[in-house]
């Protein structure tokens, strides 16, 4: 991708609701080197043909177990990693046509661990100043800093302190304020509340929801917590082994999940009603990304598998209104 072309974000995307981010048939393979000369001996297929779209002002949720490729997908969208194949378009143009500076002016990311993502040697004011000067050089620095702290619910005195002087929830607020310092229109949140206490999680979720409405932000919200995803997101994508296996509308995860993998995730959630019967645990081995199956990637662990599942990969098809599933059993039934 060419990082030197300075393409501005079309202003039309700041006024009307339309597709902001479009990912088409995305793949990411990591080479595995070995032997005396460290030659490539295999490849790990982490992202395997993902297509998705994010509308202006939408919160898109992505859920799946650890190792399914959620964080890799986020880093591909952020251009931290380069795709092996496929395209990423932002505001109607290839992501690679923007300079890094212009791209990060409109696309920012909030990481899972704010302590490791914030510079411990810089005060909060210095952290925010760095971002504002880079992406909003004409803005009133003092006023913008004050506004950012106010937006994330921190006192103005917080600006004189260092990251280690705050709690985990407060540090995540600082990380969000830093991201907002670039004035983005798309925010990628990769497990932003998983390391926080439940009460603090609710505060950060409410903060993100208020910011999304106030700033008309688009959010890609990544989590392994099904309850949070179902409550917080407008649309939900379920990932398994680098693929999207189900797409659902908001609040439909617990009531209308159709894919056997999505149902297995729901059945594995602790609940008082399951104390007598116990949790349903998936059986079978998770396929290796070094040797993916030819057919359905969930075949080896699926309770309703058919003979054709081993031979043919099911497509993600809209079997129900606003609901797509990649499963032969659902397609036929």
- Integer-rounded Cα radius of gyration of the chain: 21
Which residue in this structure is represented by tokens 């594995």?
Answer: 268
Which residue, among 43, 29, 72, 41, has the nearest Cα to 290 in the 3D structure?
A: 43
- The pLDDT assigned to 271 comes to 67
Residue 6: predicted pLDDT? 45
Query: Is the four-CA dihedral 126, 131, 135, 140 of positive or negative sign?
Result: negative
Rounded to two decimals, what is the model's pTM?
Answer: 0.89
Tokens of 193: 């509340």
pLDDT < 50: residue spans in the chain: 1-6, 9-16
Question: What integer pLDDT is reported at residue 37 of this predicted model?
Answer: 73
- Annotated domain spans of the chain: 11-332
Report yes or no: 74 and 190 within 8 Å, Cβ to Cβ: yes
Per-residue pLDDT at 333: 72
Burial class (CB in 10 A: 0-12, 13-18, 19+), 120: exposed
How far apart CA 222 and CA 229 sit, in angstroms, is: 8
The pairing of strands 59-63 and 218-223 is parallel
Which CATH entry fits the domain spanning 11-332: 3.20.20.140, 1.10.150.130, 3.40.50.300, 3.40.1360.10? 3.40.50.300
Please list, in sequence order, all residues whose beta carbon lies within 8 angstroms of the beta carbon of residue 328, skipping any fewer than 6 positions away: 296, 306, 308, 309, 312, 314
């Amino acid at each position: 991708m060419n990082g030197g072309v300075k393409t501005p974000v079309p202003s039309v995307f700041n006024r009307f609701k339309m597709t902001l981010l479009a990912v088409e048939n995305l793949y990411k393979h990591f080479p595995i080197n070995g032997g005396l000369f460290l030659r490539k001996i295999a490849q790990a297929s982490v992202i395997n043909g993902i297509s998705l779209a994010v509308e202006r002002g939408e919160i898109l949720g992505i859920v799946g177990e650890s190792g399914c490729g959620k964080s890799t997908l986020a880093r591909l969208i952020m251009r931290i990693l380069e795709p092996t194949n496929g395209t990423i378009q932002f505001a109607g143009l290839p992501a690679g046509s923007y300079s890094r500076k212009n791209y990060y002016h409109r696309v920012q990311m909030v990481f899972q661990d704010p302590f490791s993502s914030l510079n411990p040697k810089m005060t909060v004011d210095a952290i925010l100043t760095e971002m504002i000067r880079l992406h909003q050089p004409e803005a009133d620095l003092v006023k913008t800093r004050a506004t950012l702290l106010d937006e994330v619910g921190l006192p103005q005195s917080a600006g004189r302190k260092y990251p280690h002087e705050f709690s985990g929830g407060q540090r995540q607020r600082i990380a969000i304020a830093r991201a907002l310092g670039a004035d983005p229109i798309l925010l990628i949140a990769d497990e932003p509340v998983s390391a926080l206490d439940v009460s603090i999680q609710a505060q950060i979720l409410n903060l993100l929801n208020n910011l999304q409405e106030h700033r008309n932000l688009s959010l890609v919200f990544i989590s392994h917590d099904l309850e949070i995803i179902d409550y917080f997101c407008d649309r939900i994508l379920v990932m398994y082994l680098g693929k999207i296996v189900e797409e659902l509308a908001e609040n439909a995860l617990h009531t209308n999940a159709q894919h056997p993998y999505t149902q297995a995730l729901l059945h594995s959630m602790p609940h008082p009603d399951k104390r007598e019967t116990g949790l349903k645990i998936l059986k079978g081995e998770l396929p290796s990304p070094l040797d993916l199956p030819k057919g359905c990637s969930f075949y080896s662990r699926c309770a309703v598998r058919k003979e054709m599942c081993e031979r043919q990969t099911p497509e993600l098809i809209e079997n129900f209104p606003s609901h797509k599933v990649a499963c032969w059993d659902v397609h036929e039934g």
